[in-house]
Structure 1
């Protein structure tokens, strides 16, 4: 029997729409002001543009060297996600299936690492990275993201793997499958819902991260999109028109990624609920 549409439902829908509009207000300011001349931004930030200044995007695209910084950001995000998914899924699997006090201790270390503020380890990190030759290197930055992202990824994988029946793995072993084969052929495909979640969370974090690339990447040719956007803010001038246009250029790839993954997110939620 279908639920009737009541006045309470109508009020909840209205409140949800209002809440959604409130969350969209910052996007309005960014989009509207990215299409204004600098003088008009200073005059009235809330009004719609009197004339759409598309030249802001062209200038920001050229000043940022957008194609280069986009390639750097994409390479760092994809490589970091790949390493986090591969190593953390295997690590979490062994921690779950190896039921020893040492495994529990290692898992607790990964969980404890999640609460350590990044600012408290910045200086030791830079010193250690310099000693190992990881500074001013995209792959060195990827290794650092693997380290910082492992805590949350292993925590999520660990909880999900505990819900996978061991009997599936035992049946595969009886059929002659190795431990490596059991993981990649049986377990890992079942981890798709949580893998999609981890990729989305890490992509949002790594793509928008500013502080770690600022510390590690000193070569201008290795700049990421957030670093390139930052250079529109000088000591004496702040180019808000170009900075907001650059910000929109950095958001667009993430929006495309999210909408392209939306189908997988919904499938992941439903498959996880009936697994």
Structure 2
């Protein structure tokens, strides 16, 4: 009993230490966002000697926050909605049709997760530039392609927990394939859909590289606008940290509302 109790205490201590390490970047970001420019370089780790909210006001103006926030919302929500729509249907089709072709197609999607973006970056931009799709619509379409592989993998695994007998019963009652999926199967995929939403939303919301290659200054998202604070000769860390603090708030709010479904969804998606 003493050995088990000692092990439990050690694990709890390790858990607390890991939590502190994980939270330390957030602490540094939030605390330094309230400091003056000189205050950051005087003491990075300590609390501000003089708390100020001027950084947030200036960052809000410099980021053209309402415009860039709207662009980020359009790109993120549009991309995530299309990823959930098409990936759920693809996962359902591949899971229910057990043929050699469906198995090959599924393995192609799984293998696609191993392809780094940098290896297809130049040809992708060249192709989309030729068809005049270097805009928000083109960016959303690209995110659909890059986010589909993992999402299909998760949906395909989650389908194992939904018995085929439900499909057969609905078909006997006169439902077609479309009705079976949207009225019977898709509502049961809510946990995995929330997981897919969160995983893709965090990635797309924070992405800098792909939007920097596709979007113009007029349609820039928040990560692109954040680069405004880092010039060739000056780096305005106090404004950048304030801008980052503002930018992550929407994702944190969405995460806290959806967190109860995330672990359940990942567990279902891992079932093979």
Report the TM-score range of the alignment, normalised by the length of the smaller protein.
over 0.9
Partner of 1:241: 238
Cα deviation digits, residues 203-246 of structure 1 (max 9, x gap):
1100000000000002x121111011111101111111101111
Aligned ranges 1:120-135 → 2 under 5 Å: 120-135=119-134
- Picking from 236, 252, 258, the partner of 1:255 is 252
Which 5+ residue runs of structure 2 have no aligned equivalent? none
Cα RMSD after superposing both structures = 1.9
Cα deviation digits, residues 34-91 of structure 1 (max 9, x gap):
1111112122212211111210000000000111111111111111111011111111
Deviation at 1:122, TM superposition (A): 0.8
- 2:153/2:269 contact within 8 Å kept: no
Name the SS of the counterpart of 2:161 in structure 1: coil
Aligned counterparts of 2:238 and 2:80: Cα–Cα separation in 1? 33
Instruction: Choose 181-190 or 254-263, whichever is displaced more.
Output: 254-263
- Picking from 146, 167, 171, the partner of 1:148 is 146
Deviation at 1:127, TM superposition (A): 0.7
Aligned ranges 1:65-76 → 2 under 5 Å: 65-76=64-75
Partner of 1:224: 221
Check if 1:109 corresponds to 2:108. yes
- 1:76/1:138 contact within 8 Å kept: yes
Question: Cα gap change, 1:108/1:8 in structure 2, threshold over 3 Å: closer, same or farther?
Answer: closer
Which 5+ residue runs of structure 1 have no aligned equivalent? none
Partner of 1:164: 162
Deviation at 1:150, TM superposition (A): 0.6
- 1:93/1:161 contact within 8 Å kept: yes
- 1:232/1:238 contact within 8 Å kept: yes
Aligned counterparts of 2:261 and 2:104: Cα–Cα separation in 1? 34
- 1:193/1:272 contact within 8 Å kept: no
Name the SS of the counterpart of 1:231 in structure 2: helix
Return the TM-score normalized by structure 1. 0.92
Name the SS of the counterpart of 1:49 in structure 2: coil
Cα deviation digits, residues 136-160 of structure 1 (max 9, x gap):
x211111100000010011111111
